Amino acid sequence: MLHPEVLERVREGGRGWLMALWHGRMLLGMAQHRGDDYHVLVSPSDDGEIAVHFLHANGYRTLRGSTNKAPARAMRNMLAVLREGGAVVITPDGPRGPRHSMNPGLAWLARATGYPIVPCGFAADRAWRVHSWDGLTIPKPRARVAVAYGEPLAVPRETDEQGVREAAEALRERMLEAELACCRALDVEPDW
C-alpha cells in the first residue's frame, strides 16, 4: 500500500469522504477494503444488479443511482453516509466510459457537499484484462496488487463551473499519478 497516511488523515477527521477509482480497476481493490464499511455507488441497470451481488458477497454496501436514473435518491443516500462519517466509492469513468475519462460530476458533488475526494490507483503484476471499454483488470491467483492513495481534493463551495471542470481534471491527473505509482512499485508497464 502506497501512502496509507492519506486514508489515516481522512479517517481521523471524523468526516465522510468520497473515494474515486477507475471502473476497470474495481476488482483490484476488493480485498484491500473488504470489511471497511465502504458504500459503493452502483448503476441501477441490470449490469449493476450483478455488481451489487458481488459487492455484498465481499463485504461492501451499495447505493443505487446514477446521473441518469434516480439521481435524487442516490444523492440523498450518499449524503446520509457522508454525514455519518462514511466513505462513498465512485468510479468517475463508469458505467459507460470512455476509459479513464472524467466528467465533472464527482467534482460537482464534492463542491455541493463539502466532502473531499481521495483519488486511488491500483495495479497488478499479473492479471487478465477483459476486452471491454474499461479494460477490466482481474488479478490472477497469487498476483501482487498495489494500491496508492493520492492527496485528497477539496472543491470549495464558491468554485464556479470552470473551476469545477478544472477540479475534475486535477482529480483525473491525481488518479493517473496514483496508478502510475502502483505500476512503478510492481515494476510493470501501465496498460493504457
Q: Is 185 exposed, middle or buried (0-12, 13-18, 19+ CB in 10 A)?
A: middle
Rounded to two decimals, what is the model's pTM? Answer: 0.91
Residue with cell 492519506: 6
Convert the pLDDT of each residue in 141-182 to its tens digit. Answer: 999 999 999 999 999 999 999 999 999 999 999 999 999 999
d(C-alpha 192, C-alpha 135), whole Å: 9
**Confidence class for position 94, pLDDT limits 50, 70, 90:** confident
Tell me which of 7 and 164 has the higher pLDDT: 164
Answer yes or no: are the C-beta atoms of 62 and 39 closer than 8 Å: yes
d(C-alpha 143, C-alpha 38), whole Å: 24
Extents of the domains making up the chain: 4-186
Q: Where would I find the H helices in 22-93?
A: 30-33, 46-57, 71-83
Q: Residue 43: what pLDDT?
A: 83
| 62-66, 104-108, 124-128, 130-134: segment of lowest average pLDDT | 62-66
Answer yes or no: are the C-beta atoms of 183 and 148 closer than 8 Å: no
Q: Residue 23: what pLDDT?
A: 92
Q: Residue 2: what pLDDT?
A: 79
Rounded mean pLDDT of 42-58?
A: 85
